[in-house]
Amino acid sequence: MASIEKRGNSYRIIVSAGLDITGKQIKRSMTWKPSPGMTERQIEKEVQRQAVLFEERCRTGAVLDGSIKFADFVDVWREKYAEPQLKASTFARYNDLLKRILPALGHIRLDRLQPQHLLEFYENLREDGLKRTVKYRMKIDFKAYLKESGCTKVSFASLSGVGISVLNSITQGGNVSYESAQKVAQVIGQPLEKVFESVGGGALSSKTILHYHRLISAILQVAVQWQVIPSNPCSRVKAPRVERKEAEYFDDEEAVYILQKINEESPAHKAMIYVLLYTGMRRGELCGLEWSDIDFENDIIRIRNNSVYISGKGITTTTPKTESSVRLDKVPHVVMEVLQEHKHAQNIQRIAMGADWQNTQRIFTKINGAPIFPDTVSSWFKGFLKKIGIEGRSLKSLRHTNASLMIASGVDVRTVAGRLGHSQTSTTTNIYAHMIRSANEKAADAIGNLLTSKMENNAG
């Protein structure tokens, strides 16, 4: 039952909202002021009505105040804002970040959360050893082990309980989870540390710390919008500085070399590289492609899906990163020829699998037609580069290479941004500032040389 206190010309309505985790009573309050000209009877009737309405809002969780702890507000933020409005992949990524945020800040009341709390948290994130060591790389020659033991990948997968894609990743030098590494080591009959080495550890990068800052700020900004707190403490904290790194890409000779060497790989892997290099699409967009997205007659690829892996949910298909990411990319006809080659090989595989084939319509799949894990593509490419003698680059370097080739060829920034799926040209100019600057310098030199030559000829 709400209590009402008269305070001068206004009334304070107080409602009990249960107990907090320490057993202390939680109280919510509001102030109501009568409109001029209201009679005492009208005021009495209206204040009682306001009390009933306020009590109902408190009961349903529609009323919050600054005394709520950060962790409790996050629970409300998840239910009322994040889960209904964010993509599943984004929501999962935020929940992962919150696993480290809540133990550090969750106990603090929103109205008592200060910049100093945030600065101390960011400083703790810079400590060595905080990066989660959750990946393992095999130390032994897995191909040699299979040959010596007379075991096939299929039979090993059955014995260990891990997928063929995981074993392929291991063979190609990729990293796997602790659970997968443990299962593989058990079948081999050796302790985990004898078969695998841990990968990771160390301090979190400045970019990762910035992600934590941005999430905390976004949550607190919602608290401001809901009038739970008057201002956002993050606005009084300088965001963690991130040193901008130049995008890593392959030069034109390396790109040609990759296209030559990819002919020795499977039609599926060949098609992956051609599509990524000639379109610059993102990894998730590549894995989300379906055959209906390919216009073979007009040499156009439609990008409309993003395939991601979410822990606990498996592979999920979402829309691309931004609205601008839904696009049509014109490609050279050679890309279509490579895709046709892959489609023919996939049809043969589909017939061989028979009833076990999963008809997902995806272009790039597992051996049974199911959607491919995006990490599998990255792991394979890392092994491919090592095999052909190129180190220090990742799958994303193909996207950067596509951009660098367009910029070097004089394609305007707006067109580059559109083909890459950037929502703003500023994103393109920020990422590829060095490339654009180099292209501008070459253009200036070309114009200067042309005009100087003309002037010298006229003077002569």
Higher pLDDT, 180 or 334: 334
* CA atoms of 218 and 138, how far apart (whole Å): 40
Segments forming the whole domain that contains residue 162: 135-199
Q: Do 291 and 145 have their domain in common?
A: no
Q: In total, how many domains does the chain have?
A: 4
Please report whether residue 106 resides in a domain. yes
For residue 75, the domain's CATH number is 1.10.150.130
Q: Do 83 and 218 have their domain in common?
A: yes
User: pLDDT of 92-116, one tens digit each?
Assistant: 899 989 999 999 999 999 989 999 9
User: pLDDT of 252-273, one tens digit each?
Assistant: 899 999 999 999 999 999 999 9
Please report whether residue 418 resides in a domain. no
Inter-residue contact 405 to 258 (CB < 8 Å): no
Please report whether residue 51 resides in a domain. yes
* 336 has pLDDT over 70: yes
Q: Report which DSSP code applies to 126.
A: T
User: pLDDT of 66-97, one tens digit each?
Assistant: 678 899 899 989 988 999 999 888 898 999 89
Query: Which H/E stretch holds residue 130?
Result: none
Helix (H, G, I), strand (E, B) or coil at 207: helix
Q: Do 214 and 110 have their domain in common?
A: yes
Q: Identify the top-confidence range among 309-313, 364-368, 405-409.
A: 364-368
Last residue of a domain, one of 40, 59, 78: 59
Q: Do 18 and 149 have their domain in common?
A: no
Among the ranges given (100-104, 310-314, 382-386), the one the predictor scored with the smallest mean pLDDT? 310-314
Q: Do 215 and 194 have their domain in common?
A: no
Which residues of 123-230 form beta strands (DSSP E)?
135-138, 176-177, 196-199
Residue environment code for 306-340, b if the CB has 16+ CB neighbours within 10 A, otherwise e: bbbbbeeeebebbebbeeebbbebebeeebbebbe
Write down the pLDDT at residue 315: 86
pLDDT averaged over every residue in the chain: 86
Q: Do 293 and 381 have their domain in common?
A: yes
Describe the strand order of the beta sheet including 196-199 as a list of residue ranges.
176-177, 135-138, 196-199
Q: Do 294 and 331 have their domain in common?
A: yes
Q: Do 264 and 324 have their domain in common?
A: yes
At residue 442 the predicted structure's pLDDT band, cuts being 50, 70 and 90, is low
Residue corresponding to tokens 């070399």: 257
Q: Do 33 and 112 have their domain in common?
A: no
For residue 327, the domain's CATH number is 1.10.443.10
Write down the pLDDT at residue 134: 55
Q: Do 277 and 393 have their domain in common?
A: yes
Please report whether residue 335 resides in a domain. yes
Q: Do 270 and 342 have their domain in common?
A: yes
Taking the CB of residue 207, how many other CB atoms lie within 10 A of it?
12
At residue 443 the predicted structure's pLDDT band, cuts being 50, 70 and 90, is low
Q: Looking at the DSSP assignment, which residues form a beta bridge with residue 273?
A: none
Contacts of 401 (CB under 8 A, 6+ apart): 249, 250, 255, 277, 280
Please report whether residue 52 resides in a domain. yes
Inter-residue contact 399 to 321 (CB < 8 Å): no
